[in-house]
């Protein structure tokens, strides 16, 4: 019978499901592997990126399962989020209905790919049972002061009608809809991720060599730790008076204390309290006030685009070392959210300060040797014009100045981070409600744990106008959990990234306990860290940073034990491209996985995906290469007639002819390679190539035993990649023994060939090829080599003879 993928694949998918073949075992004495592909958002249909992601993960899971590991390979649904609400607005469907029916459809799609997921551990993050435990964590975080509510300037996306975290703003635009983000002052809930800044940074070291260096670098940059000096400028007496003695001065942070003597002005952010006070008391021209207000309303990106702008504030401060009087400016490039919103400006040794000073004719004072007049010198050098510090290297001066300030009690060495706290409030319906209550007398009160989950009301009108929870007639009305009086329920919902920050622990928790607890410590102790995590690079900061933070926080809150990092190893898969561009509906360059499976079968889809490029690289779609993958499977299937025994034969190597020996060697080379591929490099493309070579070599000989051994090993090796056809062949030919009896031993004897082909090079340049007996001595080989390149030796002397065993001969002549 010829190869019919649809029959074979549905047969095995049914069988696996009936046998619950992919459920992890309870026995914690077994060696485990936790293989996790990032869970999908239930958008409605799978795309090729999913196929790639899950094909990679499945190959690993199946490999380890075959090596008798206890394997956890779960799947679920990252199910809250905006698109569900957008669908509701557009098509009038309830988000819940839309989400769960998408899940049902995509679950079927996943099944047709033959992925070896656990079926009992599947969940959607919008399941109320999941929300329940998440709300418990949130309350605990509030109690432990890790979560707080605050009114502050936030990133607001008008299109999505919600606040965004800093991580969700890309070049000033919303990560989801690309709408320009506005600034808005409003209350919201924050997680104190900065508390973990140092640990998040330091523990990146534990991941070196296990996570892509790019991701580590991105996280490190995002945390943005910098060390320097913090000190305050005192206002001059006249300025103090001007400000009605409301301010003594202001704090600044600098990473360049070595340039302290070069300060010629200071600059404040437009949001700085002193600037606000000056405006309030109308101590600035009306025109200036207007302009500063305009800048305040601009986003950081708009300010950057606008170029530098500033105004002399008409006040002065005293230099802490020289006691000189220094002007204070407002500058649009000073960030309110970093370093106290104020800077000391050293135009001679800082590009930005230089640009600003030139623009407004502010004085320059060089304090490091080495630069040229008329530019900012940011290099190294000795100090000048710096009193007692003159002559020392600026790198040493950094430390010296901090010490000096500390001794004189003027300031202190300190650390700053770019990382900002994680704003988790979203003004949307389709999310997990934030479980707090606003009470007139008690203030902000967490819901009682026994009342969880605080579930979403289903009878809502979703129009895109305002927050449906706020508009609901009764939902937000409640009793205060503390005093019992009338109160109002919080209508903000949690950022969806909260759900994906702990799902790895939920999977690890035995589903039999899902009603009793959110996370089971023992189960997590056994299964975590995730041995291999696989997903797209687009999550390098967002999800991966949040999940790392949550792991540390949940540990400190006692929900899990002593776990530093959730994801032990990370593989970031490349994008799937077509015509050099990312596949997307709007570009119309997509391939529908369903159609692909319909035409060629899941095995072909999986084989192509893993063969066309290594998983870390981009994958360019190629229809005819898909045909090629299909042809290979067909060929493999056709060769089943060559097998004559259902046992692994024991072959007498010495009785084989040359072609038979080559075929055997190719087979065992592939077997040898497979360990590295499956456990280390994930270069599935090279393993598949080796199997193809082995099959090509088998085709060049007729020995039934070699054929039997060959197919026994090839189907064993390829089962993680093309599981259906291999399961079918294995069952029919070998009673499935090659898939169930663990490792196959590598026989070194097969690598010994009768004769070896060696390259012959003269002065490193390849000139000829010789075939030598396997047992030939060095002398014999050199003699043959010389003969083969006789014409190159005419009139020359061989000064050196190099033999690289089994590879080549190099003769150095003069």
Site for RNA in 783-812 (CB under 7 A): 800, 802, 804, 807-808, 810, 812
Q: Angle CA(380)–CA(381)–CA(387) in degrees, nearest 5?
A: 130
Q: What are the φ/ψ torsions at residue 532 (nearest 5 degrees)?
A: -145, 120
Residue span binding RNA (CB under 7 A) among the ranges 49-57, 399-407, 628-636, 704-712: 628-636
Restricting to residues 428-487, which ones interact with RNA according to CB under 7 A? none
Identity of the residue, 629 or 729, whose beta carbon is nearer to RNA in the bound complex: 629
Pairing of strands 226-235, 249-254: antiparallel
> Quick check: 536 binds RNA (CB under 7 A)?
no
Q: Does 754 participate in binding RNA (rule CB under 7 A)?
A: no
Question: Which residue number, 350 or 709, has a Cβ lying nearer to RNA?
Answer: 350
Least Å distance, CB 648 to RNA, is 24
Least Cβ distance, residue 74 to RNA (angstroms): 28
What x/- string results for residues 400 through 439 when contact with RNA is judged by CB under 7 A?
----------------x-x---------------------
Phi/psi region, residue 409 (left: phi>0; alpha: psi -120 to 50; beta: rest), is left
Buried b (16+ CB within 10 A) or exposed e, 39-59: bbbbeeebbbbbbbbbbbbbb
CA–CA separation, 643 vs 646, rounded Å?
8
Interacting positions 235-254 with RNA (CB under 7 A): 253-254
Cβ-contact 713, 651 below 8 angstroms: no
185 to 224, contacts with RNA by CB under 7 A? 212-214, 217-218, 221-222, 224
Residue 537 in the binding site for RNA (CB under 7 A):
yes
Q: How far is the CB of 228 from RNA (least distance, A)?
A: 5
The residue among 32 and 786 lying less far from RNA, judged by its C-beta, is: 786
* Shortest distance in whole angstroms from residue 613 CB to RNA: 4
CB of 372 to RNA, least distance (A): 17
Question: If you write DSSP's letter for every residue of 26-86 in order, what string do you get?
Answer: S-TTS-EEEEEEPPPP--SS--HHHHHHHHHHHHHHHHHHHTT-EEE----B---SHHHHH
Query: What is the distance between the alpha carbons of residues 512 and 523, in angstroms, rounded to a whole number?
Result: 12
Q: Considering beta carbons, is residue 440 or 769 the nearer one to RNA?
A: 769
Cα dihedral 492, 494, 496, 497 sign: positive
Residue 613 interacts with RNA (CB under 7 A): yes or no: yes
Tell which positions 651-690 bind RNA, by CB under 7 A.
Answer: 683, 685-686, 688-689
Binding of RNA by 384 (CB under 7 A): no
For the bound state, the minimum distance from the C-beta of residue 305 to RNA, rounded and expressed in Å, comes to: 7
129 touching RNA, by CB under 7 A: no
Stretch that binds RNA, among 333-341, 441-449, 528-536, 584-592 (CB under 7 A): 333-341
Q: How far is the CB of 693 from RNA (least distance, A)?
A: 4
Residue 255 near RNA by CB under 7 A: yes
Nearest 10 degrees: Cα torsion 748, 750, 754, 758? -70
Interface pick for RNA out of 692, 717, 729, 733 (rule CB under 7 A): 692
Indicate the residue among 424 and 619 with the shorter CB distance to RNA: 619
Which of 561, 763, 774, 779 binds RNA (CB under 7 A)? It is 763
Q: Counting contacts by CB under 7 A, is residue 297 touching RNA?
A: no
Binding mask 11-50 for RNA (x = CB under 7 A): ----------------------------------------
Stretch 160-179: interaction string toward RNA, x if CB under 7 A: ----------xx--------
Query: Residue 811, Cα to own-chain centre: how many angstroms?
Result: 51
Sign of the torsion angle spanned by Cα atoms 615, 619, 625, 630: positive
Q: Where are the beta strands (DSSP E) in 319-465?
A: 325-331, 342-345, 411-416, 422-423, 425-426, 436-439, 443-446
Choose between 71 and 268: whose C-beta lies nearer to RNA.
268
Q: Residue 814 has which token pair? A: 């003069």
Tokens of 593: 């996985």
699 is a contact residue toward RNA (CB under 7 A)? yes
Cross-strand partners of 85: none
Long-range CB contacts for residues 397-402, cutoff 8 Å, separation at least 24: 397/257, 397/258, 398/256, 398/257, 398/258, 400/258, 401/229, 401/257, 401/258, 401/260, 402/228, 402/229, 402/257
292 counts as binding RNA under rule CB under 7 A: no
Of the pair 299, 590, the CB lying nearest RNA is at: 299
| Cα distance between residue 724 and residue 731, in whole Å | 11
Q: Shortest distance, CB of residue 629 to RNA, whole angstroms?
A: 7
Q: Rounded to whole angstroms, how far apart are CA atoms 714 and 710?
A: 6
């Amino acid at each position: 019978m010829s190869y019919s993928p649809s029959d074979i694949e549905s047969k095995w998918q049914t069988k696996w499901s009936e046998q619950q073949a992919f459920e992890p075992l309870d026995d914690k004495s077994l060696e485990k592997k936790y293989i996790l592909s990032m869970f999908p958002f239930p958008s409605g249909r799978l795309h090729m990126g999913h196929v790639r992601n899950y094909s990679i993960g499945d190959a690993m899971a199946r490999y380890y399962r075959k090596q008798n590991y206890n394997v956890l390979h779960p799947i679920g649904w990252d199910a809250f989020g905006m698109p569900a609400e957008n669908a509701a607005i557009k098509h009038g469907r309830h988000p819940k209905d839309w989400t769960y029916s998408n899940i049902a459809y995509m679950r079927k799609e996943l099944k047709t790919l033959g992925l070896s997921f656990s079926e009992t551990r599947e969940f959607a993050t919008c399941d109320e049972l999941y929300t329940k435990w998440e709300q418990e964590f949130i309350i605990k975080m509030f109690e432990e002061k890790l979560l707080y509510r605050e009114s502050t300037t936030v990133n607001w996306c008008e299109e999505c009608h919600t606040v965004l975290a800093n991580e969700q703003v890309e070049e000033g635009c919303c990560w989801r809809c690309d709408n320009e983000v506005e600034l808005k002052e409003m209350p919201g809930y924050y997680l104190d991720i900065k508390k973990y800044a140092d640990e998040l940074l330091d523990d990146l070291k534990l991941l070196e060599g296990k996570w892509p260096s790019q991701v580590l670098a991105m996280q490190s940059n995002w945390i943005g730790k910098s060390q320097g000096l913090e000190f305050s400028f005192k206002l001059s007496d006249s300025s103090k008076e001007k400000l009605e003695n409301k301010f003594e001065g202001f704090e600044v942070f600098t990473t360049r204390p070595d340039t302290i003597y070069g300060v010629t002005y200071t600059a404040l952010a437009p949001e700085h309290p002193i600037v606000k006070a000056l405006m309030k008391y109308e101590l600035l021209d009306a025109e200036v006030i207007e302009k500063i207000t305009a800048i305040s309303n601009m986003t950081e990106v708009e300010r950057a685009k606008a170029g530098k702008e500033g105004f002399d504030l008409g006040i002065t401060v005293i230099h802490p070392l020289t006691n000189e009087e220094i002007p204070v400016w407002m500058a649009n490039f000073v960030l309110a959210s970093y370093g106290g919103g104020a800077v000391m400006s050293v135009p001679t040794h800082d590009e930005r300060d230089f640009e600003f000073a030139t623009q407004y004719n502010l004085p320059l004072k060089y304090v490091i040797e080495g630069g040229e007049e008329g530019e900012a010198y940011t290099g190294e050098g000795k100090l000048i014009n710096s009193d007692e510090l003159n002559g020392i290297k600026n790198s040493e001066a950094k430390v010296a100045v901090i010490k000096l300030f500390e001794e004189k009690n003027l300031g202190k060495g300190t650390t700053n981070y770019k990382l900002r706290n994680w704003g988790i409030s979203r003004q949307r319906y389709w999310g997990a409600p934030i479980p707090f209550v606003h009470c007139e007398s008690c203030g902000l009160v967490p819901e009682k744990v026994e009342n969880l989950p605080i579930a979403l009301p289903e009878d809502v009108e979703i129009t895109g106008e305002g927050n449906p929870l706020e508009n609901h007639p009764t939902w937000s009305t409640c009793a205060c959990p503390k005093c019992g009086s009338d109160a109002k329920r919080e209508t903000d919902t949690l950022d969806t990234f909260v759900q994906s920050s702990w799902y790895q622990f939920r999977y690890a928790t035995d589903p039999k306990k899902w009603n009793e607890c959110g996370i089971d410590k023992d189960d997590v102790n056994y299964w975590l860290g995730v041995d291999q995590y696989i997903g797209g690079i687009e999550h390098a900061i967002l999800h991966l940073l949040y999940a790392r933070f949550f792991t540390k926080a949940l540990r400190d809150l006692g929900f899990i034990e002593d776990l530093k990092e959730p994801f032990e190893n990370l593989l970031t898969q490349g994008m799937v491209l077509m015509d050099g561009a990312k596949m997307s509906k709007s570009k119309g360059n997509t391939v529908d996985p369903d159609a692909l499976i319909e035409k060629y079968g899941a095995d072909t889809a999986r084989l192509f995906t893993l063969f066309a490029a290594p998983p870390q690289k981009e994958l360019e779609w190629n229809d005819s290469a898909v045909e090629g993958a299909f042809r290979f499977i067909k060929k493999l299937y056709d060769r089943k007639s060559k097998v004559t025994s259902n046992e692994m034969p024991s072959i007498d190597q010495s009785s084989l002819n040359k072609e038979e020996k080559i075929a055997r060697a190719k087979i065992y080379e592939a077997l040898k390679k497979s360990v590295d591929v499956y456990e280390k490099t994930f270069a599935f493309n090279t393993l598949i190539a080796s199997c193809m070579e082995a099959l090509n070599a088998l085709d060049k000989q007729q020995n039934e035993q070699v054929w039997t051994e060959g197919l026994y090993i090839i189907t064993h090796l390829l089962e993680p990649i093309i599981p259906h056809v291999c399961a079918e062949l294995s069952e029919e030919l070998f009673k499935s023994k090659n898939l169930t009896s663990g490792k196959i031993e590598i026989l070194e004897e097969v690598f010994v060939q009768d004769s070896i082909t060696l390259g012959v090079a003269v002065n490193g340049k390849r000139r000829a090829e010789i075939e030598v007996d396997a047992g030939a001595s060095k002398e014999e080989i050199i003699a043959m080599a010389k003969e083969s390149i006789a014409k190159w030796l005419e009139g020359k002397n061989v000064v050196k003879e190099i033999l690289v065993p089994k590879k080549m001969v190099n003769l150095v002549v003069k």
